[in-house]
Structure 1
């Protein structure tokens, strides 16, 4: 089904979208390396691909009016809302709806995973994208705090964390899904870690996409410091967020299985955004890892 999704999003009308299906699956393999987690890898891969698709649409291609219409359609979550959209966004929107239908079909009947929470997460996600688009359209420069409050969510952690909860047993899953859907501090902390690592990687070699200023740029502009000073400060903030995650391990025992997955997601950041590189966007750096995992794996004795 992921391949069907890839084909649907690879039309000439949507050529601006990064093809990151393999990279997305690799990311989920880092999160779920154990046997028996095929469903979780599948759902999470779909969510990462959708996030990438929506991110590129709002950042690169859509006009502000198209951004507003796409946001309205996603809030309605109904096939009839496709009439709001231009032709190229109709394909994207239909694939979004189809992807969620496929997840429902793909999920075994004995797995009590409610996709309504995941739909709401996507709706909240694009609300953040629209806020970024409005900032960019009006040339508004948000404060560092406001920028981080929005972009630590649009980096995708609330959505991805919810998709990972499909791995829990029925009783734990219901509690975990409701907990994560409320976007607790640990989800925000994980989002800030990924956001800050992403923005550090992008800062020195920023591509001109016309998107909203990054957290790094906002910090430099607001405090009048050099890029290196800002990077040092952002690394200190990353340490603060790790303290939040580590503290939660001792305070949220009932959510420990879910918390371990969230911490794993934050840890996986080092694979994709280490040494000030963004190997998810410039994925040639990932090719060796992908080859060693899936093409010529090293077999244990």
Structure 2
């Protein structure tokens, strides 16, 4: 029996809508063993065909554009994880010929080459786009006749860094003209442009974007039939695996959730978030670890944000700092089971990793959890005092309270030997490395842009970056502040993109987790919405696309 009651008249209880999904994901029937084996064997056969085609294009040095197009198709169809080594070796050749090829190529291929190399960490120069400008310094009118080229340039703009001023101009130019011409385009280019304007490739989930691209790509007469067949088969097989994983984790959540009924019931959306981080078969175990810790952090976030009083939260922070099972009895109802679940889950992961000599990452996680809890408590104090800090003071605390670091570390814990103790320690260091810090800033600002209206109107809530900015700038209205915050998000993305470039400080698979979890922010919080707390139709459709609907073959 808990030692005290959590109920208080002053408790800021929030209302979160129930899950939209019911038990539909529990009604899953896997393939029979014979069919499963046949499909897996077909995937292996097609993979080998694609590998041979890629190597043949690498060997054909006089046709560099064919190689570039093939690599781009492999990646956009979601198949790059099968051919990482071969693609990396091929891109060395692409990089070595970068300037020579860009001097002679059309806009489509110049932009595609730039984007692909930047996405692989190469610090290639954006001056290659100067040839598409006229003597007055404006982009040439003739490129308006090249819609695929405009679209390629538009996508390339999203990997820009601070020095890429020409791409700051290009994103305005391409966005404006693509919007003007989209209704005059024919299929499938019209649908492709419409989708890109809504969801730039660099800001999207690989899993979700690959499904969209399969639909576009196969409509072009030049498509590679082997790639399409492999992409569809691979997507559907992985979807079955994901459904099985979700069914397994559902029983865990269904046991835990009734003990904390005041929190958001968002297991489906959380698992979709996790799939955005990694969807590959090799990371199945990592996903199972990540989703449990993800949900526990969400529960803690709701406890601090929408349920606990300051005095109880202070006791909970002390318990987390001590990491001691004896504290369970000292906590009130509901809080005790949250704390117990945290300890049990993280300690279980630590015991497994200790067998591999990799438990130091869990210690890093515990330290970061302490730090996040302290930030949550500071915000609870601000809320209770009705205090509005200055913008900089707010961001220093709020970028910690967004808890992105906990997502980074928990996503890495189950990845195996590539998630080295040194790599995780680097991610967790203070002050934050630029890559980590920029992601936290993006998350905090996008979250505030999307959630401020709901949070401020539904209950007593800590101020957001919008109120904090307006405090120091009384001459601007809320819409102007929103635009200023969006500009800060763009600038943080430039910092982030710069930090993704080589040389890599940590293993690339760890870099990739940070990238994909930063992309998740752009999926869930786009257009000033909070699609996780208030699950809108757009997010529901994205979830269904990945988890419910297979691709017809």
Query: Normalising by structure 2, what TM-score?
Result: 0.51
Query: Which residue of 1 is the match for residue 490 of structure 2?
Result: 239
Shift of 1:44: 2.2
Query: Which residue of 1 is the match for residue 534 of structure 2?
Result: 282
Mapping of 1:173-188 within 5 angstroms? Answer: 173-182=420-429, 183-188=432-437
1:70 lines up with 2:316 in the alignment: yes
The unaligned stretches of length 5 or more in structure 1 are none
Would you identify which runs of 4 or more consecutive aligned residues in structure 1 move more than 6 Å?
none
Shift of 1:284: 4.1
1:148-187, Cα deviation, whole Å (9 max, x unpaired): 1111111111111112223655266222111011132221
Mapping of 1:189-228 within 5 angstroms? Answer: 189-206=438-455, 207-224=457-474, 225-228=476-479
| 8 Å Cα contact 1:167/1:173 also seen in 2 | no
Query: CA separation in 2, counterparts of 1:203 and 1:154?
Result: 15
Q: 1:143 aligns with which of 384, 390, 397?
A: 390
Shift of 1:251: 5.4
Query: CA separation in 2, counterparts of 1:47 and 1:216?
Result: 30
Query: CA separation in 2, counterparts of 1:173 and 1:91?
Result: 31
Q: 1:271 aligns with which of 516, 519, 523?
A: 523
Query: Which residue of 2 is the match for residue 166 of structure 1?
Result: 413
User: For the structure 1 residues 10 and 171, does the alpha-carbon distance in structure 2 shift closer, same or farther, using more than 3 Å as the test?
Assistant: closer
Between stretches 84-93 and 206-215, larger displacement belongs to 206-215
| 8 Å Cα contact 2:287/2:414 also seen in 1 | no
Q: 1:29 aligns with which of 250, 263, 275?
A: 275
| 8 Å Cα contact 2:293/2:346 also seen in 1 | no
| 8 Å Cα contact 1:189/1:242 also seen in 2 | yes
1:84 lines up with 2:330 in the alignment: yes
Shift of 1:5: 4.2
Query: CA separation in 1, counterparts of 2:494 and 2:255?
Result: 42
Shift of 1:4: 5.0
Shift of 1:192: 0.9
| 8 Å Cα contact 1:147/1:215 also seen in 2 | yes
1:217-253, Cα deviation, whole Å (9 max, x unpaired): 2112221221111111111111221121122123552
Query: Which residue of 2 is the match for residue 119 of structure 1?
Result: 366
| 8 Å Cα contact 1:59/1:209 also seen in 2 | no
Between stretches 18-27 and 261-270, larger displacement belongs to 261-270
The unaligned stretches of length 5 or more in structure 2 are 1-247
Query: CA separation in 2, counterparts of 1:270 and 1:69?
Result: 34
Secondary structure at the aligned position of 2:257 is classed as: coil
| 8 Å Cα contact 1:203/1:217 also seen in 2 | no
Query: Which residue of 2 is the match for residue 3 of structure 1?
Result: 250
1:54-86, Cα deviation, whole Å (9 max, x unpaired): 111112111111010111111111111123211
| 8 Å Cα contact 2:382/2:388 also seen in 1 | yes
Secondary structure at the aligned position of 1:254 is classed as: coil
Query: CA separation in 2, counterparts of 1:298 and 1:120?
Result: 43
Higher gyration radius (CA): 2
Aligned Cα root-mean-square deviation (Å):
2.2
Query: CA separation in 1, counterparts of 2:375 and 2:468?
Result: 17
Aligned length: 299
Shift of 1:193: 0.5
User: For the structure 1 residues 238 and 87, does the alpha-carbon distance in structure 2 shift closer, same or farther, using more than 3 Å as the test?
Assistant: same
Query: CA separation in 1, counterparts of 2:481 and 2:300?
Result: 29
| 8 Å Cα contact 2:270/2:295 also seen in 1 | yes
Query: Normalising by structure 1, what TM-score?
Result: 0.91
User: For the structure 1 residues 266 and 6, does the alpha-carbon distance in structure 2 shift closer, same or farther, using more than 3 Å as the test?
Assistant: same
Query: Which residue of 2 is the match for residue 41 of structure 1?
Result: 287
1:14 lines up with 2:260 in the alignment: yes
Q: 1:262 aligns with which of 478, 503, 514?
A: 514
